[in-house]
Structure 1
Amino acid sequence: DTVIGQDPVAGSRLEVGEQIVLRVSDGLAGVDLPDFAGMKGPEALKVLKTIGLLGEVEDVFDEQVVPGLIVGSAPAGGTRAAPGSTVKLRVSQGPEPRTVPEIVGRPVGEAIVELARAEFTVGEISRQFSPDQTPGTVLSSDPAPAAKAPRGQPVNLVVASAEQQAVVPDLVGLRSSSASKVAKAAGMTTAVTNLALVAGDPRVGLVISQTPVANTPGAAGTPIQITVGILLPSTTTTIAGASTTTSRPATTTTRG
């Protein structure tokens, strides 16, 4: 507190024991500032306007406060500001972005540890045939090393594989012979299971389903299990001079 006046004034003569009255400032005359912490920026600006103050937004990183909420203000809440003056509102932009570590060329296990230390999570790990690299070595990452990314963002890794990888072709709807050719062109084979269907079913002669499904990675030479529709076989039974024809379901498996 500051003394801003006195009575009697300085230089006056007083009797011993006579009282001197001091006038003490109780601080800046102005507007009491509320605590803006936790409020949204636009809401705080409206409050400032209603109490005759101006507002200025400053974006800051904060590890705890949700993005868009106010971390604090200057002058701080609970103090006073001169009428018409500007109050700076510090608005959280969330945690400061992290730098993706240099993990290319390192074993995938070490890369995962480094990502955790940098406060990232591990995203999708895909494998790529790379005869010049030790299997399990990280070939690339997304986001790339040295890139800035939000805390906790998944980082996808491509890891070296000793096996040639192939993409499973879509065989559903093809005839069995065509499916075998398409699979061979993709570096894979087929294992056929026949499913008996009734006459008139449009799926007769066609691939009905496959495992693994199309467009997924698989090792070269891996067989694709396909189910092909065939016409339900029929048998003839003679009863008392008359003959009847019945159909029996049949399932067979072949490889090609």
Structure 2
Amino acid sequence: MKKIELKKLLPYIIVLGVFSLTVLVLISTADLWILPAMVHNKPIVKVPDLTGKPINEAEKLLETVGLNYEVTSEQYSKDFKPGVVISQTPKPNLMVKQTRTIFLIISKGEETAIVPYLIGQSFRIARTTLINKGFKLGNIRYEPSDAFGADTIIFQSINANTSLPFGSAIDLVVSKGSELQVKVPSLIGLSLEEAKKSLSESGLNLGNLNYIENETFMPNTVINQNPSPGALVKNLSNVNLTLSR
């Protein structure tokens, strides 16, 4: 009974086998000949130059010639604005098949940093802070200051919290400390001891002493001085005296 059923099914089995074999042959033929032929028959196009173009403009140019694109990375650049193509692969003017993918690197614009507040900091700390924030030291100028101690920042050329390109230079003014100017008192006619006291009270020092013969003044009397009375000099400056012998 089973042999009779098998004989009845045999023609169907043969037909199914032939059909399956035919399908396999067709698939193999397509894989070996038809698909490669389709690929090889794609038009050859020239890769457009996309460098310096905004990404939306680059996309339109690629669509025009039937090419695809992929953004591989974004990088800071001082030469290209944000959203502009920095470089591409393959390079411009190469001949490629349509649907080829062009890989793009896009600009994020120039890298910026926030200027720190430096007033009141020591020069050493201010310099380290600037470098750590990505800035460079610009011109350094030293000036006297009554409000800030020596070697302290009293001015910065760019206000704090300003956004500047990475690597910008910041100029600084550094305090030399207090250098109050005082008016030289008139010492002529005073004795040496009186002159010393007057200089001390004015914040000045006694300088060189020169003695000359003079019949008008008593001995050890100031008959000349340098700087002259009323001159403005730095605190603790020396005042030279000429005394009668």
* TM-score over 0.5 for the pair: no
Q: Which has the larger radius of gyration?
A: 2
TM-score by length of structure 2 reads 0.41
TM-score by length of structure 1 reads 0.40
> Which of the two has greater strand per residue?
1
> Which of the two has greater helix per residue?
2
